[in-house]
């Protein structure tokens, strides 16, 4: 077992570092501490980042060159993500397209779908959102009631999706809809690619705890998409949906440990500055123990992530083991945020002095980590998946 990187991979890392050193100072958000509050400004930065990555040959690093990718491997993709997280590079606007739909199309899509959708997605020209959750179908996603009916050469879609991240920027949505209402609930669902800019779609923002509206309610009222925009077979969408979820829970996360290390460094600086019973919080044995625990967990996350990448290199898809990574990183991040709150106290988000010591970063970790334990399936659902599909335990009584 060799967990180190080869000289070629280290050379790729140097290339990424040089790229970031060149472009990050030119970002529309350069010099700013934290994210802008103005959503339009955030989106502008996200679009700029997508375009910049594409123009410099870092889009779709592990994807085949024939569809616009770079033809490298998942290892280089992880190196790129690690370096971006380490330097707090902007978030692209097309995370759901690149992280979820693209890899799924590569394994489940028809040749025509790959040719049509992958390149514009990589270029950031077509932004995607994910139409899974409904008001009465979140954890129990297979209870979804949106339906699609084939009328002539088009699917006609009716229903409501909720918590649709980034729908207000999206050009396309990958939608789960019921296409056979008489089939058992996990069957009779199809996975459709639906254009957002049409009269049958209404997008309404949902304002969250932070005051921003990152996600939306999306209503489909006789919305349409061509017949060929079904991925996989008609009524086989549940399987395709799970392929998306395994990418969402696994590989999109692997580079994140570097961002958590950045937060950990901010936390250690803050603990040095905060008063405590023995001078500073960093001398308090209780906080020291907890800081070392979180630091160790970040290292475990890194190694577990590399294990996920090894599986992907071998099989090009993930199994339910992706749930282990999702559960681990989201709960670990919540502990990191809680520790920051315990050390910095309720002034964390407001103090100018502390902001220079990472107050903004840590405050975002404290609030944002809660969302991480919910999206892509809650922690309880990940535990159920691991229990049933990894450990082989019987299903819980409610099923």
Ligand X SMILES: Cc1cc2nc3c(=O)[nH]c(=O)nc-3n(C[C@H](O)[C@H](O)[C@H](O)COP(=O)(O)OP(=O)(O)OC[C@H]3O[C@@H](n4cnc5c(N)ncnc54)[C@H](O)[C@@H]3O)c2cc1C
Segment near ligand X (CB under 6 A), from 38-46, 67-75, 191-199, 368-376? 368-376
- Measure Cα distances from 107 to 45, 111, 240 in Å: 30, 10, 10
Q: Which stretch binds ligand X (CB under 6 A): 16-24, 132-140, 184-192, 230-238?
A: 132-140
**By CB under 6 A, residue 386 contacts ligand X:** no
Residue number with the smallest Cβ distance to ligand X:
138
Nearest distance from residue 305's CB to ligand X, in Å? Answer: 21
d(CA 313, CA 106): 14
Place of tokens 């659902």: 381
234 versus 371: smaller Cβ distance to ligand X: 371
Instruction: Name the one range near ligand X by CB under 6 A: 27-35, 43-51, 119-127, 370-378.
Output: 370-378
When the beta carbons of 27 and 212 are compared against ligand X, the nearer one is 212
Report in angstroms how near the CB of residue 381 gets to ligand X at its nearest.
Answer: 6
- Token pair, residue 227, equals 């017949």
Nearer to ligand X, 288 or 389 (CB): 389
Query: Following DSSP, what letter does each residue of 202-234 receive, concatenated?
Result: EEEEE--TTS---EEEEEEEEEEEETT-EESST
Integer Cα distance of 284 and 248 in angstroms: 38
- Given candidates 149, 338, 375, 386, which one binds ligand X under the rule CB under 6 A? 375
248, 263, 321, 372: which one is catalytic?
248
SS3 254: helix
**Stretch of residues binding ligand X (CB under 6 A), selected from 125-133, 225-233, 247-255, 291-299:** 125-133
Residues in CB range of 112: below 8 A, 6 or more apart: 228
377 is an interface residue for ligand X by CB under 6 A: yes
What six digits make up the tokens of 96? 């759901």
The DSSP annotation for 120-167 comes to HHHHTSS-EEEE--BTTBSSSGGG---EEEEETTEEEEEEEEEEEETT
C-beta of 43 vs 371, nearer to ligand X: 371
Catalytic annotation present for 149: no
What is the smallest separation between the CB atom of 103 and ligand X, expressed in angstroms? 16
Cα–Cα distance measured from residue 113 to residue 271, given in angstroms and rounded to the nearest whole number: 52
**Cβ of residue 374: shortest distance to ligand X, in angstroms?**
4
Q: Which of 42, 133, 190, 246 contacts ligand X by CB under 6 A?
A: 133
CA distances from 179 to 157, 182, 218 (A): 10, 9, 19
> Distance (Å, rounded) from C-alpha 274 to C-alpha 281?
5
- State the minimum distance, in angstroms, from the CB of residue 72 to ligand X: 28
- Helix, strand, or coil (residue 86): helix
Nearer to ligand X, 117 or 287 (CB): 117
**Segment interacting with ligand X (CB under 6 A) among 162-170, 180-188, 268-276, 337-345:** 162-170
When asked if residue 36 is in the footprint of ligand X (CB under 6 A), the reply is: no
Positions marked catalytic: 248
Q: Which chain residues interact with ligand X by CB under 6 A?
A: 129-133, 138-139, 163-165, 215, 371, 374-375, 377-378, 380-381, 384
């Amino acid at each position: 077992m060799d967990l180190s990187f080869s000289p070629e991979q280290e050379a790729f890392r140097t290339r990424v570092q040089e790229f970031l050193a060149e472009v990050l100072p030119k970002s529309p958000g350069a010099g700013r501490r934290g994210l802008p509050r103005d959503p339009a400004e955030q989106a502008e930065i996200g679009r700029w980042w997508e375009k910049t990555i594409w123009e410099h040959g870092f889009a779709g690093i592990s994807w085949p060159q024939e569809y616009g990718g770079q033809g490298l491997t998942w290892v280089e993709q992880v190196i790129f993500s690690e370096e971006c997280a380490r330097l707090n590079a902007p978030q692209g606007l097309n995370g759901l397209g690149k992280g979820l739909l693209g890899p799924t199309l590569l394994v489940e899509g028809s040749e025509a779908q790959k040719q049509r959708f992958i390149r514009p997605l990589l270029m950031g020209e077509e932004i995607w959102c994910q139409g899974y959750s409904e008001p009465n179908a979140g954890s129990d996603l297979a209870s979804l009631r949106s339906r699609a009916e084939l009328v002539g050469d088009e699917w006609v879609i009716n229903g409501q999706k909720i918590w649709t991240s980034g729908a207000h920027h999206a050009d396309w949505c990958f939608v789960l809809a019921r296409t056979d209402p008489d089939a058992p609930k996990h069957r009779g669902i199809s996975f459709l690619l639906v254009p957002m800019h049409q009269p049958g779609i209404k997008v309404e923002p949902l304002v969250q705890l932070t005051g921003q509206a990152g996600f939306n309610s999306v209503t489909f009222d006789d919305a349409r998409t061509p017949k060929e925009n079904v991925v996989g077979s008609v009524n086989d969408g549940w399987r395709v949906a799970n392929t998306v979820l395994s990418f969402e829970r696994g590989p999109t996360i692997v580079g994140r440990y570097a961002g958590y290390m950045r937060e950990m460094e901010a936390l250690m600086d803050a603990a040095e500055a905060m008063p405590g019973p023995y001078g500073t919080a960093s001398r308090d044995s209780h906080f020291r123990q907890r800081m070392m625990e979180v630091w160790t967990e970040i290292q475990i996350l890194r190694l577990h992530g590399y294990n996920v990448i090894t599986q992907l290199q071998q099989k090009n898809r993930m199994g339910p083991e992706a749930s282990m990574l999702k559960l681990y990183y989201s709960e670990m991040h919540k502990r990191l945020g809680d520790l920051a709150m315990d050390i910095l106290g309720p002034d964390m988000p407001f103090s100018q002095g502390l902001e220079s010591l990472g107050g903004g970063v840590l405050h975002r970790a404290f609030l944002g980590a809660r969302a991480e334990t919910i999206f892509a399936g809650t922690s309880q659902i990940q535990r159920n998946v691991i229990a049933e599909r990894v450990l082989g335990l019987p299903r819980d009584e409610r099923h």
